[in-house]
Structure 1
């Protein structure tokens, strides 16, 4: 089956080797070796991305803009099929093929603050280079993906419909999230504040979506399925949520969760090094809020799923999503505790950029 797809991209399947690749949870990805050349083949998850053509159109339009305005920027685009399309349809599934960026590698964990800096710089550069792009040309590939108001509403409905047993076990977490409702209010104010600008935003800034060279310098960002119009808080917030703590979201020893100030400083300097002139003064004042926004939203999503009997994320053990919730609440509280010190780091970085 896979070889039939590869033929659509003009690959010689007589000498092809195919093996699973990467750690992504949404799309299925394979490394394809075809003689001396290597490729990345992906099957788009149409349960998540219901209109794959919108993704292909977005990437094509961004590529055209960058080729004209920033021709030296490394922007990964799919290889066209024999009928000049970016997607190959096969058995009601959509596939695409990318050339492998030779000499590149990626990480699944932020191993040091230099990686955090390089990743933040790459995501900032991506948005800065596309500052002149007309965002109305972009399709929404995941409606309401980072709509915090919607996520809070879903959380409230989950509380209303939850079993007595799960409500009892989650009561403390429910109360903490309700107590932090002001994070939602701030988001709703942002939506009506002209000082906040919608830009080309990646929306999924985990470390695995950056390619690095042999010297661990950032090359480019990848996995562009979630690129849509959005606010900078989505990208900065997701970096804070996934880079700052030495313990990931699956950790159940909550004492291991912390905010590493040197990693925060790296994100600030990397992102603002590219975006300082693009962001408004008001937006810069919301830099730390970006972290609260994303961490809080993920806590809401985990807890809503727990109260809904784990129908979205699933659960590998009883209470899995409740533990994920407590993990994210702990991270949020650590961020709030360190906010004064982190604010000084933002101020200091802006003074030297």
Structure 2
């Protein structure tokens, strides 16, 4: 086990190494996650260490989740929202040797998927993310603190790309020549967003910001959605962050690490299921501007991720873990291919959106 201060951390919650079994679980790359099972009793718990290299202020996460939990408990008490278990001293986290730990209830008879294999799974996931947004429609997002400032700020990401382009070596610039041209040609996506950004009916909402399929728990038999998990990035943002991230990660059968670009295709049934699931909860909460920007949300997030991979490549691949030297460049090509698929299928995709907005 990699839990260095395990006895002190466990003791903060009334456990010890002697009376619990501990196993590392999960496929997440950010936080270390463990399954804690007391040797007496049937209850299990999830113990997570917050990655302070990514989340500079762990208390912002704790405070955001507590504020949302209190609101939901008051306004929608039947909604299943996973909140951290307090330490014996009543805190949201245990702090041991400058490490931040939280304990969560383990939700039995559920599964989280790493890969979508059926459109119905996309429907259930999108429905769960949409439901959380819908329930928090009247929550004041300004009460929340950004846990990663600028996380989905496309303007910031373009500025970072521009700086990397100035500072990079001629060799890296030559290798990425075509992708740099793609990045510059698609800057109109940022300009288009800016033309909407100050509209009064384009509000900041409480947004999850990381809506990949593994962040939803599904019933392990029926695969019906149970709840949303991994709430570290829940903070103020535009609705396009959640819906766009779903489009980026649900619509293609292959991840950003696929190098055979002929495989990067949009699965229309998955798009239709995702839109249907999301709008089944959010249709009546979205403003007219937001409805207009539904498909744009995918363009925004895919372009942003392409920029981030390209920027990292130009910087020498110092942020995203890589297995070979040009992997971030390959990821960039992958994302620009996915973006081109959105444009090529735009009429089909927009027709699906319109149909689900009407019905």
Cα deviation, residue 103, structure 1: 1.2
Q: Which residue of 1 aligns with 2:117?
A: 111
Unaligned 5+ residue runs, structure 2?
Answer: none
CA deviation map 1:188-243 (0-9, x unaligned): 12321212111110000000100011310001101111001111100000000000
Match of residue 34, structure 2, among 30, 35, 53: 30
Q: Which residue of 2 aligns with 1:290?
A: 297
Q: Which residue of 1 aligns with 2:56?
A: 50
Q: Which residue of 2 aligns with 1:345?
A: 352
Secondary structure of the 2:35 match is strand
Cα deviation, residue 310, structure 1: 0.6
Q: Which residue of 1 aligns with 2:267?
A: 260
Secondary structure of the 2:111 match is coil
The 5 A counterparts of 1:329-340 are 329-340=336-347
Return the alpha-carbon distance in structure 1 between the equivalents of residues 79 and 261 of structure 2: 41
Matched-pair contact (CA < 8 Å) for 1:117–1:270: yes
Matched-pair contact (CA < 8 Å) for 2:6–2:17: no
Q: Which residue of 2 aligns with 1:6?
A: 10
Return the alpha-carbon distance in structure 1 between the equivalents of residues 157 and 347 of structure 2: 28
Instruction: Flag the 1:37–1:12 CA change in 2: closer, same or farther, 3 A.
Output: farther
Return the alpha-carbon distance in structure 1 between the equivalents of residues 213 and 321 of structure 2: 24
1:230 matched to 2:240: no
Match of residue 46, structure 2, among 40, 44, 55: 40
Match of residue 130, structure 2, among 120, 124, 132: 124
Matched-pair contact (CA < 8 Å) for 2:112–2:217: yes
Return the alpha-carbon distance in structure 1 between the equivalents of residues 223 and 121 of structure 2: 7
Bigger drift between 131-140 and 83-92 goes to: 131-140
Q: Which residue of 2 aligns with 1:320?
A: 327
The 5 A counterparts of 1:130-279 are 130-213=136-219, 214-279=221-286
TM-score of the two chains, using structure 1 as the length reference: 0.98
Q: Which residue of 1 aligns with 2:106?
A: 100
Secondary structure of the 2:63 match is helix
The two structures, once aligned, show a CA RMSD in angstroms of 1.0
Matched-pair contact (CA < 8 Å) for 1:13–1:34: no
Return the alpha-carbon distance in structure 2 between the equivalents of residues 186 and 343 of structure 1: 17
TM-score of the two chains, using structure 2 as the length reference: 0.96
Secondary structure of the 1:196 match is coil
Unaligned 5+ residue runs, structure 1?
Answer: none
Cα deviation, residue 302, structure 1: 0.3
Return the alpha-carbon distance in structure 2 between the equivalents of residues 9 and 273 of structure 1: 39
CA deviation map 1:276-335 (0-9, x unaligned): 111012211111100000000000000000001111114210201000000000000011
Matched-pair contact (CA < 8 Å) for 1:202–1:226: yes
Return the alpha-carbon distance in structure 2 between the equivalents of residues 119 and 3 of structure 1: 36
Matched-pair contact (CA < 8 Å) for 1:201–1:228: yes
CA deviation map 1:142-171 (0-9, x unaligned): 100000011011111111111111111100
Return the alpha-carbon distance in structure 1 between the equivalents of residues 343 and 26 of structure 2: 34
Return the alpha-carbon distance in structure 1 between the equivalents of residues 305 and 357 of structure 2: 29
Cα deviation, residue 275, structure 1: 0.5
CA deviation map 1:76-122 (0-9, x unaligned): 01111110001001111000001101111110111111010000000
Return the alpha-carbon distance in structure 2 between the equivalents of residues 79 and 190 of structure 1: 40
Q: Which runs of 4+ in 1 moved over 2 A?
A: 11-15
Secondary structure of the 1:239 match is helix
Matched-pair contact (CA < 8 Å) for 1:117–1:266: yes
Secondary structure of the 1:22 match is coil
Return the alpha-carbon distance in structure 2 between the equivalents of residues 190 and 141 of structure 1: 24
Q: Which residue of 1 aligns with 2:90?
A: 84
Return the alpha-carbon distance in structure 2 between the equivalents of residues 72 and 307 of structure 1: 49
Secondary structure of the 2:281 match is helix
Cα deviation, residue 12, structure 1: 5.1
1:280 matched to 2:287: yes
